[in-house]
């Protein structure tokens, strides 16, 4: 279908959670979803930054319906607290799993001793989903619809094939650790959709990737992207897009009425452009042998949960 990011399907009355919503792609996804009429739940670890993000969104979307939940993705107990709050909402139609620490130290860990990138980008989402999956299912059944889980990945997964046989083994470089975390995310996301379908549950699991979003091409938002916030240089700036357009793929995965579980959305050129459904990476979507099951078991062990599917 023809997709226009400036004219999204009406999502009035639907509740969508966005993690990592106080900066970058997460912030702009939340702003765009609010403009579509959705009741957007901003989720981030800083209450102060949540207030800034709320004010900024309301400045650009005066009719925005917003809520906030504090969640520290580096703390399993904080994730449980947030999951309890989200499960208590009147309805829960979708969650965009966008948050995660961008740490450059190989030795840094979460408060529970997990590698920081794997812990905040992947394990945290497994823990969160274990807590909110019943609420997503209940909303779908009550509203006779399909609720959605959208995982965020990166083009690095396809560019740099990375082993996920042993998730506790941390690569030597930060980019390697990040790619490994996102590879595990993709394997889990596609396996989750297969299990949801097999169980006959009205919840879909999809994947999105943003392409390359850079500060230099991102529109200003007070306290989010302005002279008071850190500026990150990026060698890909001449070919890249802003973080507002980098959010389009995830927003389409959430709002496109034609989107289905097991699909993958990304920018048309791979780096930037209109969001389109992209070809699946066989290594993560349909891995050989029992890799998907082994990754699933490892993530459940690391997250200290069992997903009831």
pLDDT of the residue at 90: 97
Q: Is the pTM of this model over 0.75?
A: yes
| Helix, strand, or coil (residue 275) | strand
Q: How many CA atoms lie within 13 A of 270 on its CB side?
A: 8
* CATH superfamily name and code, 15-303: NAD(P)-binding Rossmann-like Domain (3.40.50.720)
Question: What is the per-residue DSSP string for 136-203?
Answer: HHHHHHHHTS-EEEEEE--THHHHS----S-TTSPPSSHHHHHHHHHHHHHHHHHHHHHHHHHTT-SE
Contact 170, 177 (CB under 8 A): yes
Tell which residue, 217, 236, 190, 205, has the closest CA to residue 96. 205
Distances from the Cα of 153 to the Cαs of 33, 47, 117, 121, 214, in angstroms?
A: 19, 26, 13, 9, 16
pLDDT of the residue at 236: 80
Q: What pLDDT digit, counting tens, does each position of 115-145 carry?
A: 999 999 999 999 999 999 999 999 999 999 9
Please provide the average confidence, as pLDDT, over all residues in the chain.
96
DSSP 23: S
- All residue ranges of the chain with pLDDT < 50 are none
Angle at 24 between CA 22 and CA 28, to 5 degrees: 80
Percent with pLDDT over 90 in the chain: 92
Structure tokens at 150: 């959208």
pLDDT of the residue at 193: 98
Structure tokens at 259: 């989107």
pLDDT of the residue at 1: 60
pLDDT of the residue at 232: 81
């Amino acid at each position: 279908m023809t997709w226009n990011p400036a004219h999204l399907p009406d999502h009035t009355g639907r509740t969508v959670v966005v993690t990592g919503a106080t900066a970058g792609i997460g912030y702009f996804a939340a702003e765009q979803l609010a403009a579509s009429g959705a009741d957007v739940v901003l989720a981030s670890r800083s209450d102060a930054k949540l207030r800034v993000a709320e004010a900024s969104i309301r400045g650009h979307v005066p009719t925005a319906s917003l809520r906030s939940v504090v969640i520290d993705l580096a703390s399993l107990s904080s994730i449980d607290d947030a999951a309890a709050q989200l499960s208590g909402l009147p309805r829960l139609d979708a969650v965009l799993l966008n948050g995660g620490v961008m740490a450059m130290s190989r030795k840094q860990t979460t408060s529970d001793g997990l590698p920081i990138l794997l812990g905040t980008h992947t394990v945290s989402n497994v823990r969160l989903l274990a807590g909110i999956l019943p609420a997503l299912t209940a909303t779908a059944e009550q509203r006779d619809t399909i609720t959605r889980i959208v995982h965020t990945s990166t083009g690095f997964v396809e560019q740099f094939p990375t082993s996920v046989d042993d998730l506790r083994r941390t690569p030597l470089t930060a980019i390697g650790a990040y790619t490994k975390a996102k590879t595990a995310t993709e394997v889990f996301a596609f396996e989750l959709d297969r299990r949801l379908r097999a169980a006959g549950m009205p919840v879909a699991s999809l994947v999105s990737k943003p392409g390359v979003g850079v500060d230099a091409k991102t529109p200003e938002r007070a306290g989010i992207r302005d002279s008071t916030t850190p500026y990150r240089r990026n060698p890909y700036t001449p070919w890249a897009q802003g973080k507002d357009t980098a959010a389009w793929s995830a927003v389409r995965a959430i709002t496109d009425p034609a989107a289905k579980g097991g699909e993958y959305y990304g920018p048309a050129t791979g780096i930037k452009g209109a969001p389109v459904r992209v070809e699946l990476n066989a290594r993560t979507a349909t891995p050989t042998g029992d890799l998907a099951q082994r990754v699933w078991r490892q993530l459940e062990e690391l997250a200290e949960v069992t997903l009831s599917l």
